[in-house]
Structure 1
Amino acid sequence: MPIIRVIDGINETVGRIVSIVAIVFAAIIIYDVFMRYFLGEPTRWAFDLTKQLYGFYFIMLGGYALRHQSHVKVDLLTERLAPGIRRWVEAAGYVIFFFPFAWVFARRSFDFAMTSYNQGELTYGAVQLPVYPLKMAMFVAAVLLLIQGVSEFLKLVLNKADHLEPQEPMDVR
């Protein structure tokens, strides 16, 4: 289905772009360590900035992780079920648990971000950075997670969930 390809493509692209943030915050940490221990000139901004970048990195990869089935699951209950039954149990899980949670996450994070933006919220660190961009990223991440849930649900309902089928053992010769 085109909608599945579009949603999967969006989260794949976001995941690949956001993964670059890990390189950026690692470089900032290395720079700060170098400045602190080798030149005796610690930065005032690096700790706060890397905290925000890590938060951005962590939250924005939720949809990407769901696309690649990297979230924690309770497979103990479903691993012995036939693939068809397991598919419908997982689909019911999306309806009962995932979609309500994702909706609340999106709605509350939007309110959270707007409150932060309207108040001009800043960090408490040595360098006061605006907080609202990170809180707005929470909302975007919630939407990405929600739409990826739609894609995964459609795959289950349309029997396109290849992650449910038994996998062939890898040949490691």
Structure 2
Amino acid sequence: MLQALTRTVDWLSELFGIVAGWMFFAIGIFVAYEVFMRYALTSPTVWVDEIARIFQVWATFGATAYVLKHRQHIVIDLAFRDANTLRRRIVETFSLLVIVFFGCVAARYGWDIWLKSTLAGHTTDSYLAVPKAYTQSAIWVGFGLLSLQALVEIYRVWTGQANLQSHELGGH
């Protein structure tokens, strides 16, 4: 049961990370298109800024769990370099619990803001008038998945499955 949950969270983190990468790529294409339209054809678009912003919000929040899963965030391991010590496991667990706490708080308040905005029918103040729910949902989805991935990583720390070696984390 726990293995199935772990695989599911890992799969979702991978999926969101891959989609986020393609969204960042698409943003580059959109902005290049806008530059061409604006300066070469003097005919700017009305959609690039808004769509690029939505993609950027989703890609940023969606990629957080992917980054944690692959341990590609900033790591400072001066005092706890040996991954097999109890102290290292305790420090790892503490840092992951901070992520869980922050992620849950952000997801909870993000959900409240999203729900209020969705029920009220709020839209952006642009020509497209995109529902704000599109960007606001990225907050609770991204931080919710980040919290789940952090719990999976805590499980890995205590079952010996975590990838905690400093040389594998890009350390010195």
Q: What is the TM-score normalised by the length of structure 2?
A: 0.85
Q: Which one of the candidate residues 60, 69, 72 is aligned to 1:70?
A: 72
Cα deviation for residue 77 of structure 1 reads 4.2
Cα deviation for residue 109 of structure 1 reads 0.8
Cα deviation for residue 27 of structure 1 reads 1.8
1:150 corresponds in structure 2 to: 151
Residues 40, 107 of structure 1: alpha-carbon distance in 2 compared, 3 angstrom cutoff: same
* Cα shift readout 1:73-122 (whole Å, capped 9, x = no counterpart): 4434433x563221222113323x22221211111110011111122222
* Cα shift readout 1:43-78 (whole Å, capped 9, x = no counterpart): 122112212211111111111111011223443443
Residues 86, 48 of structure 1: alpha-carbon distance in 2 compared, 3 angstrom cutoff: same
Cα deviation for residue 33 of structure 1 reads 1.0
The list of structure 1 runs, each at least 4 consecutive aligned residues, that deviate by more than 3 angstroms after superposition, is none
Residues 166, 33 of structure 1: alpha-carbon distance in 2 compared, 3 angstrom cutoff: closer
CA distance in 2, matches of 1:119, 1:76: 50
2:126 counterpart of 1:130: no
Residues 154, 142 of structure 1: alpha-carbon distance in 2 compared, 3 angstrom cutoff: same
1:16 corresponds in structure 2 to: 18
Residues 56, 82 of structure 1: alpha-carbon distance in 2 compared, 3 angstrom cutoff: closer
2:114 corresponds in structure 1 to: 113
The number of residues matched between the two structures is 165
CA distance in 1, matches of 2:35, 2:118: 32
1:90 corresponds in structure 2 to: 92
Cα deviation for residue 149 of structure 1 reads 0.6
Q: Which moves more between the two structures, 58-67 or 48-57?
A: 48-57
Mapped contact 1:88–1:157 kept (Cα < 8 A): no
Cα deviation for residue 146 of structure 1 reads 1.0
Give secondary structure in 2 for the equivalent of 1:57: helix
Percent identical: 26
Q: Which moves more between the two structures, 67-76 or 51-60?
A: 67-76
Give secondary structure in 2 for the equivalent of 1:161: coil
CA distance in 1, matches of 2:167, 2:75: 17
CA distance in 2, matches of 1:25, 1:63: 21
2:39 corresponds in structure 1 to: 37
1:171 corresponds in structure 2 to: none
Residues 131, 88 of structure 1: alpha-carbon distance in 2 compared, 3 angstrom cutoff: same
Q: What is the TM-score normalised by the length of structure 1?
A: 0.85
Cα deviation for residue 11 of structure 1 reads 0.7
